[in-house]
Amino acid sequence: MSIFANIFTWWNGSTFGTWVGLRGKDVVGEDALGNVYYQGGRDTAGNPRRWVIYKGSNDSSRVPPEWFSWLHHQIDDIPSRALPPVRQWEQPALANLTGTAAAYRPAGALEKGGERIGATGDYEAWTPGA
């Protein structure tokens, strides 16, 4: 990303102002997607302030569930120490796929041809005055 875009566009990643604001904050960890997590200072309730700097576009659905819990003070320690190990049957979390080619489209959706299957006989149409 160019320096000009980094100064003025927040949707392509963190801005120059964000990096200045994170000076002196502690890097707590990084997730499998490359997002970096910071902690430092206190909010008005006395809780530690926590941030995520996304790798790539700013999309909150790209924060894994374990780090979401840490960001929202549901767990106190970083996920690798506070949570049990990942079980073999667990699948990695997916980002929100809405608006992409991989989004769920049910039968009858325009993107799938717009054709719905016929009624199965258990539906009777309503007619006024009948």
Domain span holding position 53: 3-112
Does residue 120 lie within any of the structural domains? no
Residue 124: pLDDT band (50, 70, 90) is confident
pLDDT score recorded for residue 16: 65
For the residues 21-41, what does the mean pLDDT come to? Answer: 88
Domain count across the chain: 1
Cα–Cα distance for residue pair 21/41, rounded to 1 Å = 11
Sign (positive/negative) of CA torsion 110, 111, 117, 123? negative
What's this model's pTM, rounded to 2 decimal places? 0.68
40-87: pLDDT as tens digits: 888 898 989 998 988 877 888 889 999 999 999 999 999 989 989 989
Q: Which residue has the higher pLDDT, 82 or 15?
A: 82
Does residue 122 lie within any of the structural domains? no
Does residue 117 lie within any of the structural domains? no
Does residue 24 lie within any of the structural domains? yes
Q: Are strands 26-30 and 48-53 parallel, antiparallel or unpaired?
A: unpaired
For 68-106, letters b (16+ CB in 10 Å) and e give: bebbeeebeeebeeeeeeeeeeeeebeeeeeeeeeeeee
For the residues 2-29, what does the mean pLDDT come to? Answer: 71
